Amino acid sequence: MAENKDIDSITGVETTGHEWDGIKELNNPLPKWWLYVLYACIVWAFCYWIAMPAWPLVSSYTKGVLGYTNRTAVAASLERASANQAAYRDAIRTKPLDEILADPSLLEFALAGGRASFGDNCAPCHGSGAQGFTGYPNLNDDDWLWGGTLDDIHHTINYGIRTDHEDTRVNDMPAFGRDEILSREEIADVADYVLSLSGQTENPEAVERGAQIFEDNCVACHGEGGTGIQELGAPNLANGLWLYGGDRADVIDSISNSRRGVMPHWIDRLDENTIKQLVIYVHSLGGGQ
């Protein structure tokens, strides 16, 4: 018995027999180009399964006749990159810092490497933009505790601050309150004097008393007028830049209990090439001397 076909009277196309609310579904064939693409994809999939790693197994995977792996490709790419950079690394290792700074191509390479190394090693304390935090210096300004020349920065990164390395930078401020060197009243007066150096106090009597206390106890490290001595790592107290906070309570706390920030030494952790790139990068941030 012949099958009855339902032909749509408007389009002349056979329907699938499905109907919803009087709307019939036409049985239009797929475009040939679409079918050819589908068949080509199926053929391509079989070829890919044979040529490339594809199917997971119990303890491994099908390797494919080409033996390709992303790991091998990445290793080869890194090897090529390393070979291309070898000349730059050799030059940075052998040349003095000022010559690297004067060579545009070496400078560009060192800045890129230094930026990456800074993010990996220094950003957790100094911030991703080297902006610093309370207790961690801002490396973008020109306020340097131990000096901002290339050689100064190189020494600081190499040997750190107050570490166990024999060449570390170290100079400790006395804890004038904790060790009972000064009374609470004297500490309050010298705090007012210190704040007056940057125009942050209006207590002339306390400032006058604190000036003499400062002269007797603090000038040896901080210098006349509190402008600091970089060779001793003594900060400038007159520029309004504060590492541990600049309000009166913070200054009193610093005088009473001292501050003893520590920066690790990197000479045993990073190679000299990386350290030189870090020096160039930190020096370039805006405050290098």
User: What is residue 1's predicted lDDT score, i.e. its pLDDT?
Assistant: 44
What is the band of 103 on the pLDDT scale with cuts at 50, 70, 90? very high
Region 4-22: mean pLDDT is 83
| 2: pLDDT strictly greater than 80 | no
Q: For residue 151, what pLDDT is reported?
A: 95
Q: Is 56 helix (H, G, I), strand (E, B) or coil?
A: strand
Residues 6+ away with beta carbon under 8 Å from 47? none
Residue located via tokens 């600081």 = 156
CA-CA distance, 216 to 231, in Å (whole number)? 20
Those residues whose C-beta lies under 8 Å from the C-beta of residue 44, and which sit 6 or more positions away, are none
Q: Which helix (H) or strand (E) holds 7?
A: none
Q: Average of pLDDT values for 75-98?
A: 88
Q: What is the pLDDT of residue 280?
A: 96
One DSSP character per residue, 160-203 reads -BS-SSTT-B--PPP-TTTTTSS-HHHHHHHHHHHHHTTT----
In terms of pLDDT, which residue wins out, 220 or 3?
A: 220
Task: Match 């494919």 to its residue by tokens.
Answer: 64
Phi, psi of 15 (to 5 degrees): -95, 165
Residue 3 pLDDT level (bands cut at 50, 70, 90) = low
Say which residue, 200 or 276, is predicted with more confidence.
Answer: 276
Mean pLDDT of 95-109: 94
Enumerate helices (H) and strands (E) in the chain, giving the number of each: 11, 2
Find out whether 182 and 217 touch, Cβ atoms under 8 Å.
Answer: yes
Q: Is it the case that residue 74 has pLDDT exceeding 60?
A: yes
Instruction: State what percent of residues in the chain have pLDDT above 70.
Output: 99
Instruction: Give the gyration radius of the chain's Cα atoms.
Output: 36
Residue whose tokens read 């150096």: 197
Mean pLDDT of 92-100: 94
- Does the pLDDT value for residue 202 go beyond 80? no
- DSSP letters, 203-229, are -HHHHHHHHHHHHHHTHHHH-GGG--B
Q: What is the pLDDT of residues 120-140, one digit of tens each?
A: 999 999 999 999 999 999 999
pLDDT value for 85: 83
